[in-house]
Amino acid sequence: MAGRGSRAARRARAREQTQLVRDLEKLARLEPGGAPDRPLAVESAAQVEVMATSRPCPLCQGSVRLVEHAAETVDGVRLRVARIACTLCGVPRARYFRLAESALH
pLDDT tens digits, 33-65 = 999 999 999 999 999 999 999 999 999 999 999
- Which residues are registered as beta bridge partners of 92? 85
- Residue 12 domain-assigned? yes
pTM of the predicted structure, to 2 decimals: 0.81
- Residue 53 domain-assigned? yes
- Residue 77 domain-assigned? yes
Do the Cβ atoms of 49 and 66 come closer than 8 Å?
yes
Q: Are strands 92-99 and 77-86 parallel, antiparallel or unpaired?
A: antiparallel
- Determine the number of helices (DSSP H) and then strands (DSSP E) in the chain: 2, 4
Structural domain boundaries, residue 42: 2-99
Confidence of residue 24 (pLDDT cuts 50, 70, 90): very high
Q: Who has greater pLDDT, 100 or 92?
A: 92
- Residue 104 domain-assigned? no
- Tell me how many domains the chain contains: 1
- Residue 92 domain-assigned? yes
**37 Cβ neighbours under 8 A, 6+ residues apart:** 75
- Residue 86 domain-assigned? yes
- Residue 105 domain-assigned? no
pLDDT at 3: 55
